[in-house]
Amino acid sequence: MEKVPLALDVDTGVDDACALLLAARHPRLDLRAVTCVGGNAPLPDVVRNTATVLDVVGRDDVPLAAGSPRPLLEHPVDARHVHGADGMADLGMPSPRHPLDPRHAVDLLKDTIDAAAAQGTPLTLVPLAPMTNIALLARMHPGSFARIGRIVFMGGGAQVSNATAAAEFNVFHDPEAAALVLDAAVEHAVPVTMYGLDVFYEPTLTRADAAALIASGRPVAVFAGRLIEFLCQRFHAETATIGDAGAVASLCDPTALRTQRLPVRVELMGSWTRGRTIVDLRDWTGDLDHDPHGLAPAQVDVALGVDGPRLARLWLESVGGA
């Protein structure tokens, strides 16, 4: 099986942690770098949480770098009301040992992208966070950005939102960054897939799944089970989504995801809609031809359907195994 070389950009985050576990363990994925950005929690917490996950899975071979602590223009916000005071379920984990790469996240991404391109295996870049680091990469190193094989980002939504009535958290946190990345993808012909809230909540696990993982006694499985258990408790529910991990799982099983190539813009001005991904679902040329704005230049493979149980099972088997 040919492996997918990839780098993750994260704001770890319970569901980012779930995604990291899968990316670090699945045999189809070749995790080459992880970069951090402020988002779900402040950057120092994100770096600590990410290093902790890499320790749990024993991936001291994966370079880890810190990036931007805040959005390009907005004041930073966080989502600790979802992810816990420490940003990762308040599990009381020991201080991590995983070293921090001395490079800035943007430079680590540049070097990783260039190395993969030189090997003839273009990198898949998976932003699971506000895309501040990716926007800086596009501006500072456009040649390297152009060598990205594909971008699969968790963010936005065609018809679903969470941070506001209009916008999903990652895009809402830094809408200028998301807009810049889409523009750069058009300029450099980099394919983009949007794994947004329309599918985000579909791959779920149960409290019983979490209990079985914990009961196994295997360190990775126990950690994974405690993450799912925390989410069930936080939302007073019997099930919890694996969230960002679904975007990574879709790389392992692409046929589980139904996408449609659609024009996408990011709203930057609206008082009530700032940060919304405007996904153009219209199919009548009469409307399209008479739209004074024209079609959005960015043509994105937007995830509109997913086999949630299939991706959840893939995650469970990957993180729960020996």
> How far is it, in rounded angstroms, from Cα 208 to Cα 191?
38
How many separate domains does the chain show? Answer: 1
Each residue's pLDDT tens digit, 176-225: 999 999 999 999 999 999 999 999 999 999 999 999 999 999 999 999 99
pLDDT at 299 over 80: yes
CB 296 within 8 A of CB 280: yes
**pLDDT computed for residue 249 by the predictor:** 98
Q: pTM of the full predicted structure?
A: 0.96
- Kindly list the distances between the CA atom of residue 139 and the CA atoms of 97, 110, 181, 257, 291, in Å, as whole numbers in the listed order: 33, 12, 9, 31, 30
Tell me the two tokens of residue 17.
Answer: 């942690």
Per mean pLDDT, which range of 73-77, 200-204, 228-232 is the poorest? Answer: 73-77
Give 321's pLDDT tier (boundaries 50, 70, 90).
Answer: confident
CATH code where residue 279 lies: 3.90.245.10
> How far is it, in rounded angstroms, from Cα 48 to Cα 69?
13
**pLDDT computed for residue 2 by the predictor:** 85
**pLDDT computed for residue 286 by the predictor:** 77
pLDDT at 285 over 80: no
Mean pLDDT of the chain: 96
pLDDT at 129 over 80: yes
The arithmetic mean of pLDDT across residues 138-165, rounded, is 97
| Host domain of residue 230 | 4-320
Neighbours of 291 (CB within 10 A): 10
